[in-house]
Amino acid sequence: MSDSKDDKGERISEAEHAIMEVIWDRHPVSATDVCNQVCEARGWSMPTVKTLLSRLVSKGALATEPDGRRFLYTPLIERADYVGGESRRLVDRLFGGRAASLFAHLAESEALTDEDLGEIERLLKEMRK
């Protein structure tokens, strides 16, 4: 994965990510289905959703298939792959590529709960096996 792009194409914006979350959760979906999930909360209209869907298709993040007079959208990138790439970019950009610096920052800012710390400890033990 490169710094500025995912495996399929250009970076996904925050607004496009909101669309992707709907599609990852349930697909295939129509533009109307997506709008029903995000338009009211974000103050978006159907044309906004259609524009974002079109951008995601051109970026290689979504596939479309005709279904009568509408199109259905399915993801071409997996949520886990996207999250992994974005996490790596965050660590690279803000913490000099060192994940330990990210954890140190979170711990110092008291952003980690005891439950978070326990989960991190369990993950580390699993990784060392």
The answer to whether the pTM exceeds 0.95 is no
- How far is residue 123's CA from residue 129's CA, in Å, rounded to a whole number? 10
Q: What is the pLDDT of residues 47-95, one digit of tens each?
A: 999 999 999 999 999 999 999 999 999 999 999 888 888 888 888 888 8
Residues 108 and 122 in one domain: yes
Number of domains comprising the chain: 2
Residues 30 and 70 in one domain: yes
Rounded to 5°, the CA angle 81-62-82 comes to: 15
Final residue of a structural domain among 57, 75, 93: 75
State CA 85 to chain mean position distance. 9
Whether 6 is covered by a domain: the verdict is no
- How far is residue 73's CA from residue 62's CA, in Å, rounded to a whole number? 6
Whether 3 is covered by a domain: the verdict is no
Domain limits at 70?
14-75
Residues 25 and 57 in one domain: yes
**Structural contact between residues 16 and 75, judged by C-beta atoms closer than 8 angstroms:** no
Residues 66 and 91 in one domain: no
Whether 4 is covered by a domain: the verdict is no
Q: Which CATH number belongs to the domain containing residue 97 in this structure?
A: 1.10.4040
Q: What is the pLDDT of residues 14-40, one digit of tens each?
A: 999 999 999 999 999 999 999 999 999
Residues 83 and 56 in one domain: no
Residue 123 has what pLDDT? Answer: 83
